[in-house]
């Protein structure tokens, strides 16, 4: 069994809020008259993680890598195919919807789409008041006061209590979503790409709000994004996901300083650098081919068809997530041939047959963006 | 395609089976005595007993159902209470009338409906468009029988008194005997039946045509210099027709219902007239026969429409 | 663990005043906070066709309610026959005059009074049957769309079967067994209309179910019932209102058709359908006998259809397709 945190440095159980152990989520594909199962989408395929109290864990990966599915497994919006999720010392992975209900107060979600996640036909006051209504906490004037207090906390005008979502801007709508998630004073908030649908100018405001709220209410965040530059600002640690598996976990500074997995390197190389001189010098890594289908994931290391360093071993053996040489104990990577500091990946040549490789070095930024898909739809 | 075909036919058989069960339960099991109903109001007790035995109503229900379906499958619909004519022959003589009426009306409504819809769509927001919209709403609000009455009054009676003997007010002539007379007798019923439904089709065609004409591929076709007529007929109308085909399948039941009404307005000796007569006569075997035959027609026709649809739009086969 | 424990003074520090947010500034420029319903109402009020047809419907309703009053004023009951003053020496109905404002029928009854009474049957049948159909179709459609899988397959197939039934023929079959009446008519109309509503509601629920706000409600711990009624239903109210308004004229037509064929309300109760049926043999000599019930029927259905169309426009201006109900 693979753990994101090496045994030696495992934090005390009392520090851990969520323990995700070998979680798998497969979606069956059914066709035909009898709805026979003809295949399975391996959306999340054996993920283990620990999230400590009060920290922010960023989860990064391309569209379709399973990060949103993982988030919904932790929030138990999905039933798990296998594995366990322990929240606050309690195994919630097999709880029924009814048994799960009281625990929902502790785990809340913020969604990506500030339009889709708010019911267009309901007033903001009643949307934010939902948690109180569902858990029977308060009613009438009492609830209204609580909702207005929440609106103030997230920076909304409490007088807009009776408005409809359509009357707010994108950033304000996301604040409504934050207020709703905050209502029950949860321990954990799972934010599924909370700023991806917002204008860049608004993103920072929401990120700052989330950071402020974390300090004020002692929240723990799981912060999902496809964009490393966003995650970097809010996260303490970052987990990189590829095709349903975690390939590397490290603190933000470690990950930026010594990315060990070639995929992490590729992601990092796509982050825009503000300084043009620095940007010129930087190595750009272009990945070959497309993301393989999660219905039939590649054998061995799932990254091998696109990895510049892939060898025969990679096609056969799935590399375990483990601490690499000279790394800190909390920095783990799943790679047979981890990237060394200073190594030029763009010069690397795979030892196996791969799809046609385009010009690998000094390609335009757009091409890199295209390759790792920074724009994600829902 | 094969799987789709099998699924569609299976569903058709399912519907037919359900209809047979519903009809059987309604007429033979429901909390009344079918023998008494079948015997008529003046029947004596011994006559009812004889009928009960003849029909096998003293046997277990499942056995009754089995033999009833067995007879149905072999085309045996029993005998009319009036004059003991086989229901099968009775229906056989009426079907050509209803078929002529329904088929002709369907052709007219499709032509008028789609034509008016296309006209409205290629000249949106013009007087032509507004007129089509107005008449569509007008005819849509018009019950078929009322339109038939108005037709009778204006196109038969008023023309007749004015000296124009253009359309007969009632009756039917066989197609084989006199094709012109056949069409002449049917032209008012055809339009009465067609115009109400044509309204729906004109709006439907207009809507989808407008959608399609806004698509990029139409703009591409135009920019290639293809003539406007060709763009509309070859490119736009083709995709606009798919919802029309769907709607046509849905409306087959309505077509038959409308035919029943129209026959009664214009005195056409079709299934509809027979059905209404049979109700006042309490002639149950005939009613059962008509329901079964009409259901069979609708199910089969629906199946054909769906298959046509699958040919037109390959995506359907996947669902 | 409720929010009331948040210290206002403390949270005021962490939450900046709204004015410090650039995005708030522009959006907060006092737009009148109007609900989608208020907006629809405002659009509807500006629509002359909608106002006109609403007035017509209101008048017809008032006339239907006040039918006994009108009968009293005219001095003829709906079933009263006047063979001497209502028919001429050949026994044919007489045309409009001072005693019979809209003429008399084949039995020498007052057409005006009968048309007025006929409005009652039409409105009751139209409204009750549509309400039943929308209620049943709405519930079944929401259940099928929300729960999906086996529930959906079963309910959808059931609706398909009903939709492929030749309904008028089954009405005939049913009436031949249980005898005609208003209740049977309403039951038949509702039974064959609900599946249309059900199919549409199912489709909409299916797409609403995938919306993030439903997932949000689920993550808050909302029960299925709460999600269906609190989160999904408000989004279906607009289409349901539209279908109800468009179902009413269709039901009125259906009822009139049944009455016309002698399968609906039984004489002597006057309905527009059975009046028209009675007028059929007389259309050459007594145009008023056909025109007034026919005109009343046409005006009523036209008014409801026009109103339904306007309501749809007002509730969803993007909705362009008419008559898909």
Q: Kindly state whether residue B130 falls inside one of the protein's structural domains.
A: yes
Whether residue B200 is found in the same domain as residue B263: yes
Query: Do the chains contact at B153 and C290, CB–CB below 8 Å?
Result: yes
A154 contacts C3 by C-beta, under 8 angstroms: no
Report the alpha-carbon distance of residue B85 to residue A375 in Å, rounded: 75
Facing A135 at nearest CB: one of C10, C15, C221: C221
Q: What is the mean pLDDT of residues A292-317?
A: 86
Whether residue B46 is found in the same domain as residue B95: no
Task: State the pLDDT confidence band at A63, using cuts at 50, 70 and 90.
Answer: confident
pLDDT the model gives residue A187: 92
Whether residue B251 is found in the same domain as residue B139: yes
ipTM of the complex: 0.80
pLDDT digits (tens, 9 = 90+) for A224-271: 988 888 888 889 999 999 998 999 999 998 888 888 899 998 888 877
Q: Three-state SS for C314? A: helix
Lowest mean pLDDT among B45-54, B187-196, C138-147, C189-198: B45-54
Q: Three-state SS for B9? A: helix
Domain finish residue from B39, B73, B107 = B73
Q: Kindly state whether residue B294 falls inside one of the protein's structural domains.
A: yes
pLDDT the model gives residue B38: 62
pLDDT the model gives residue C235: 87
Q: What is the mean pLDDT of residues A273-299?
A: 75
Low-confidence stretches of chain B (pLDDT beneath 50): 318-319
Q: Which domain holds residue B211?
A: 90-313
Lowest mean pLDDT among A351-360, B90-99, C277-286, C306-315: A351-360
Token pair of C111 as six digits: 């057409």
pLDDT the model gives residue B319: 45
Task: State the pLDDT confidence band at A278, using cuts at 50, 70 and 90.
Answer: low
pLDDT the model gives residue A200: 84
Whether residue B69 is found in the same domain as residue B95: no
Whether residue B120 is found in the same domain as residue B261: yes
Whether residue B59 is found in the same domain as residue B149: no
Pairing of strands A56-60, A220-225: parallel
Please tell me the pTM assigned to this model.
0.78
DSSP C15-62: S--GGG-HHHHHHTS------HHHHHHHHHHH-HHHHHHHHHHHHHHH
Q: What is the mean pLDDT of residues C92-114?
A: 75
Task: State the pLDDT confidence band at A378, using cuts at 50, 70 and 90.
Answer: very low
Q: Is the per-residue pLDDT at C32 higher than 70? A: no
B121 contacts B205 by C-beta, under 8 angstroms: yes
Please provide the average confidence, as pLDDT, over all residues in chain C.
Answer: 78
Q: Quickly list H helices, chain C.
A: 8-14, 22-27, 36-46, 48-65, 67-74, 111-147, 149-163, 167-178, 182-209, 212-219, 224-226, 233-260, 272-279, 287-315
Compute the nearest-CA separation of C159 from chain A (Å). Answer: 19
Whether residue B98 is found in the same domain as residue B63: no
Domain finish residue from B19, B48, B73 = B73
Per residue, the 3-state secondary structure of A29-87, as one string, reads EEECCCCEEEEEEEEEEEEEEEEECCCEEEEECCCCCCHHHHHHHHCCCCCCCEEEEEE
Report the alpha-carbon distance of residue C268 to residue C80 in Å, rounded: 10
CA dihedral B295, B296, B297, B298 (to 10 degrees): 50
Whether residue B33 is found in the same domain as residue B159: no
Domain finish residue from B73, B100, B121 = B73
**Chain C neighbours, 3+ Cβ pairs < 8 A:** A, B
What CATH number is associated with residue B246? 1.10.3720.10
Q: Kindly state whether residue B206 falls inside one of the protein's structural domains.
A: yes
Q: What's the distance, CA B25 to chain centroid? A: 25
pLDDT digits (tens, 9 = 90+) for A152-163: 999 999 888 888
Task: State the pLDDT confidence band at C239, using cuts at 50, 70 and 90.
Answer: confident
Residues of chain C with C-beta less than 8 angstroms from the C-beta of A88: none
Per residue, the 3-state secondary structure of C86-99, as one string, reads CECCCCCECCCCCC
Whether residue B186 is found in the same domain as residue B228: yes
Whether residue B173 is found in the same domain as residue B210: yes
Q: Kindly state whether residue B152 falls inside one of the protein's structural domains.
A: yes
Total domains in the fold of chain B:
2
Residue ranges and CATH numbers for the domains of chain C are: 46-87+121-315 (1.10.3720.10)
Whether residue B265 is found in the same domain as residue B135: yes
C279 touches chain B (CB under 8 A): yes
Q: Kindly state whether residue B84 falls inside one of the protein's structural domains.
A: no
Q: Kindly state whether residue B79 falls inside one of the protein's structural domains.
A: no
C216 touches chain A (CB under 8 A): yes
Please provide the average confidence, as pLDDT, over all residues in chain B.
Answer: 79
Report the alpha-carbon distance of residue C126 to residue C189 in Å, rounded: 9
Q: Is the per-residue pLDDT at C10 higher than 50? A: no
Whether residue B110 is found in the same domain as residue B201: yes
**Chain B neighbours, 3+ Cβ pairs < 8 A:** A, C
Compute the nearest-CA separation of A31 from chain B (Å). Answer: 9
């Amino acid at each position: 069994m693979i753990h994101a945190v090496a045994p030696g440095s495992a934090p005390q159980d009392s520090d851990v809020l969520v323990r995700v152990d070998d979680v798998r989520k497969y979606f069956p594909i059914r066709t035909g008259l009898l709805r026979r199962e003809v295949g399975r989408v391996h959306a999340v395929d054996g993920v283990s993680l620990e999230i400590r109290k009060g920290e922010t864990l960023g989860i990064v990966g391309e569209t379709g890598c399973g990060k949103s599915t993982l988030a919904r497994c932790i929030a138990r919006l999905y039933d798990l195919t296998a594995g366990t999720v322990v929240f606050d010392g309690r195994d919630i992975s097999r709880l029924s919807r009814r048994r799960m209900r009281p625990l929902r107060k502790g785990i809340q979600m913020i969604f990506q789409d500030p339009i889709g996640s708010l019911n267009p036909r309901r007033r903001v006051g009643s949307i934010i008041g939902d948690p109180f209504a569902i858990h029977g906490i308060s009613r009438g004037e009492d609830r209204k006061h609580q909702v207005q207090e929440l609106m103030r906390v997230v920076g909304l005008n409490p007088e807009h209590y009776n408005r409809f979502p359509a009357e707010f801007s994108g950033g304000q709508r996301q604040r409504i979503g934050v207020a709703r998630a905050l209502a029950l004073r949860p321990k954990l908030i799972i934010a599924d790409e909370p700023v991806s649908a917002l204008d860049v100018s608004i993103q920072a405001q929401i990120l700052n709000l989330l950071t402020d709220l974390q300090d004020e209410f002692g929240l723990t965040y799981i912060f999902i994004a496809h964009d490393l530059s966003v995650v970097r600002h809010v996260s303490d640690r970052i987990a990189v996901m590829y095709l349903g598996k975690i390939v590397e976990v490290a603190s933000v500074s470690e990950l930026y300083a010594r990315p060990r997995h070639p995929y992490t390197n590729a992601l990092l190389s796509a982050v825009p650098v503000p300084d043009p001189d620095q940007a010129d010098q930087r190595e750009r890594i272009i990945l070959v081919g497309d993301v393989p289908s999660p219905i039939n994931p590649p054998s061995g290391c799932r990254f091998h068809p696109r990895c510049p360093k892939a060898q025969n071993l990679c096609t056969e053996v799935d590399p375990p997530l483990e601490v690499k040489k000279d790394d800190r104990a909390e920095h783990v990577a799943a790679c047979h041939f981890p990237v060394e500091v200073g190594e030029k990946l763009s010069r690397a040549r795979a030892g196996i047959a791969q799809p046609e490789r385009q010009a690998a070095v000094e390609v335009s930024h757009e091409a890199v963006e295209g390759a790792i898909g920074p724009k994600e739809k829902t | 395609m094969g799987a789709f075909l099998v699924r569609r036919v299976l569903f058709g058989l399912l519907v037919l089976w359900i209809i047979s069960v519903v009809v059987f339960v309604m007429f033979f099991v429901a909390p009344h005595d079918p023998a008494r109903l079948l015997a008529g109001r003046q029947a004596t007790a011994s006559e009812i007993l004889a009928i009960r035995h003849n029909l096998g109503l003293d046997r277990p229900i499942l056995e009754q159902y089995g033999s009833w379906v067995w007879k149905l499958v072999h085309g045996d619909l029993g005998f009319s209470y009036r004059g003991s004519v086989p229901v099968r022959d009775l229906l056989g003589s009426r079907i050509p009338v209803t078929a002529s009426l329904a088929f002709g009306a369907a052709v007219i409504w499709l032509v008028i409906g789609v034509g008016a819809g296309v006209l409205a769509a290629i000249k949106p927001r013009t007087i032509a468009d507004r007129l089509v919209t107005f008449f569509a709403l007008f005819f849509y609000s018009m019950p078929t029988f009322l339109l038939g009455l108005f037709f009778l009054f204006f196109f038969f009676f008023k023309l007749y008194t004015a000296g124009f003997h253009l359309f007969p007010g009632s009756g039917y002539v066989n197609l084989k005997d006199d094709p012109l007379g056949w069409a002449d007798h049917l032209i008012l019923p055809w339009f009465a039946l067609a115009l109400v439904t044509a309204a729906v089709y004109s709006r439907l065609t207009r809507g989808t045509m407008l959608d399609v004409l806004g698509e990029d591929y139409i703009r591409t076709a135009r920019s290639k210099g293809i003539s406007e007529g060709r763009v509309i007929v070859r490119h736009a109308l083709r995709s606009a027709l798919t919802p029309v085909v769907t709607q046509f399948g849905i409306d087959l039941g309505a077509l038959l219902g409308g035919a029943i009404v129209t026959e009664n307005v214009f005195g056409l000796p079709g299934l509809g007239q027979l059905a209404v007569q049979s109700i006042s006569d309490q002639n149950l075997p005939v009613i059962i026969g008509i329901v079964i035959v009409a259901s069979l027609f609708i199910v089969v026709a629906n199946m054909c429409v769906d298959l046509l649809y699958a040919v037109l739009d390959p995506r359907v086969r996947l669902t | 663990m409720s929010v009331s424990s948040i210290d206002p003074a403390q949270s005021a520090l962490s939450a900046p005043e709204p004015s410090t947010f650039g995005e708030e500034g522009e959006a907060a420029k006092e737009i009148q906070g109007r609900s989608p319903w208020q907006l629809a109402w405002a659009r509807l009020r500006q629509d002359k066709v909608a106002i006109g047809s609403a007035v017509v419907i209101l008048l017809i309703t008032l006339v239907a309610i006040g039918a006994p009053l009108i009968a009293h004023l005219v001095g003829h009951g709906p079933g009263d026959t006047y063979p001497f003053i209502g028919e001429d020496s050949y026994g044919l109905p007489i045309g409009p005059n001072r005693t019979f404002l809209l003429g008399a029928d084949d039995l020498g009854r007052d057409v005006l009074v009968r048309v007025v009474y006929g409005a009652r049957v039409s409105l009751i049948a139209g409204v009750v049957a549509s309400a039943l159909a929308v209620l049943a179709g709405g519930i079944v459609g929401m259940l099928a769309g929300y729960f999906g899988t086996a529930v959906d397959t079963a309910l959808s197939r059931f609706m398909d079967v009903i939709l492929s039934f030749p309904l008028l023929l089954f009405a005939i079959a049913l009436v031949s067994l249980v005898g005609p009446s208003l209740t049977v008519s309403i039951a038949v109309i509702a039974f064959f209309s609900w599946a249309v509503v059900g199919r549409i509601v199912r489709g909409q629920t299916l797409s609403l179910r995938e919306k993030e706000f439903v997932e949000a409600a689920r993550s808050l711990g909302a029960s299925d019932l709460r999600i269906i009624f609190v989160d999904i239903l408000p989004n279906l109210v607009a289409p349901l209102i539209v279908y109800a308004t468009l179902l009413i004229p269709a039901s009125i037509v259906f009822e009139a058709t049944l009455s016309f064929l002698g399968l609906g309300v039984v004489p002597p109760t006057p309905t527009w359908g059975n009046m028209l049926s009675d007028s059929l043999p007389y259309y050459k000599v007594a145009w008023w006998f056909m025109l007034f019930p026919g005109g009343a029927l046409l005006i009523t259905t036209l008014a409801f259809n026009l109103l339904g169309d306007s309501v749809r426009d007002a509730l969803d201006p993007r909705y362009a397709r008419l008559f898909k109900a």
